[in-house]
Structure 1
Amino acid sequence: MWIKSGLFALLLSYVLALVLMVMPLPTVLEPWRPDWVSLVLLYWLLAVPHRVGFGTVLVLGLLTDILMGSTFGVYAVALVLIAYPVLRHFQRIRHYSFMQQALVIGILIFVKRIIVYELEHVLNDAVFNLPYLYPVLSSAVLWPWLFLVMRRFRRRYAIR
């Protein structure tokens, strides 16, 4: 039943995104780690918005909070705030070219990272440094390839 409905494939993509968020990378590449959870979540919000909604976003945000060791709810709030415009305008964003989509994704991840920083600054006196924003660029550059891989994954497992 899970495999037939595509639920297993959705859960597998979320778990893979969470693993990629904490997978060790060489020191040189660590600041450039793409925001995997946001990328995968934004893809599913664009591709199947009727199956992935605010409940999924909230749960995935809370799991990211636990995994990253941040204050509980920080990532959840940030993900919910960037999910709203995507769910509201998914039909328009779908018809953008890859470059336009990458720009939109980059802006959304920038907003998410600023929200996370501001909340961490207020709650835990976090200090800002420029490498904190490097994932915005790497995520935007990665978006077209991730989109193609995820679309193939969605078609293979017939997620509708």
Structure 2
Amino acid sequence: MIMPRGQELMMPVNPLFIALTIVVALALNMLPWGGWVWMPDWLLLVLAFWGVHQSGKVGMGIGFFLGLSMDVHQSALLGQHALSYVLLMFACRQASRRVLWFNVLIQAMYMAPVFVMTHAVEVVVRMVAGGIFPGPWVLIAPLIEALLWPVASWILLAPQRRPPDRDSNRPL
């Protein structure tokens, strides 16, 4: 495959780094934010990132397991987050080949509807089960997640940008 112009050659990702970032995102989701509806879903953002960049390593099974853990943590309907995370991982896997050709700003615009869809699935499942509509503020979280996409890309791709060995005679 020919690399897009201006894209740098990166090191392979360490599976322990993927696991660490997912655990940190899960911990951020479990912090008591006071029930703010507009707060971004950190785990959703990290899962979407790894689903786009490493769809072979982070798949729907991991999304399902982490969704169940979020359902248990939030005392939500069992399967609410699991369904939305599985759909997120499916959408990321389908889009990964196309999205990676664009720069991070266009990637963020491409991922915004995916984030909206994921939150919409959560709200619809909650309302079908007899819950109440959280209000229009629920639309802010996917927009914040789309705005955080370039920051997440910069942070999560940083370990892959380092050279394999430092050598002053080798430009790559």
CA distance in 1, matches of 2:86, 2:136: 24
Task: Output aligned runs, 1:67-106, within 5 Å.
Answer: 67-106=73-112
- Kept in 1: contact 2:80–2:126 (CA 8 A): yes
Deviation at 1:145, TM superposition (A): 0.7
Deviation at 1:13, TM superposition (A): 1.1
- Kept in 1: contact 2:37–2:134 (CA 8 A): no
Aligned to 1:50: 56
Amino acid aligned to 1:18: L
- Kept in 1: contact 2:51–2:59 (CA 8 A): yes
Match of 2:29 among 21, 25, 35: 21
> Which has more radius of gyration?
2
* Structure 2 segments unaligned to the other structure (5+ residues): 1-12, 165-172
Aligned to 1:125: 131
Aligned to 1:10: 18
- Kept in 1: contact 2:91–2:114 (CA 8 A): no
1:21-42: per-residue Cα shift (whole Å, max 9, x none)?
13244x6x94432221111001
CA distance in 2, matches of 1:17, 1:154: 19
| Of 5-14 and 63-72, the range deviating more from structure 2 | 5-14
Amino acid aligned to 1:17: A
Higher helix share: 1
* Structure 1 segments unaligned to the other structure (5+ residues): none
**DSSP 3-state at the match of 1:32:** coil
Corresponding residue pairs, total: 151
CA distance in 2, matches of 1:32, 1:48: 28
Q: Measured at CA, do residues 8 and 35 of structure 1 come closer, stay the same or move farther in structure 2, by a change above 3 Å?
A: same
**DSSP 3-state at the match of 2:157:** helix
**DSSP 3-state at the match of 1:124:** coil
Deviation at 1:113, TM superposition (A): 0.8
The 4+ residue runs of structure 1 with deviation greater than 3 A are: 29-32, 153-156
Match of 1:152 among 149, 152, 158: 158
Identity among equivalent pairs (%): 25
Deviation at 1:155, TM superposition (A): 5.2
TM-score normalised to structure 2 length: 0.78
Aligned to 2:69: 63
Cα RMSD, aligned residues only: 2.2
CA distance in 1, matches of 2:77, 2:109: 29
CA distance in 2, matches of 1:83, 1:39: 11
CA distance in 2, matches of 1:79, 1:45: 10
| Correspondence 1:141 to 2:168 | no
| Correspondence 1:108 to 2:114 | yes
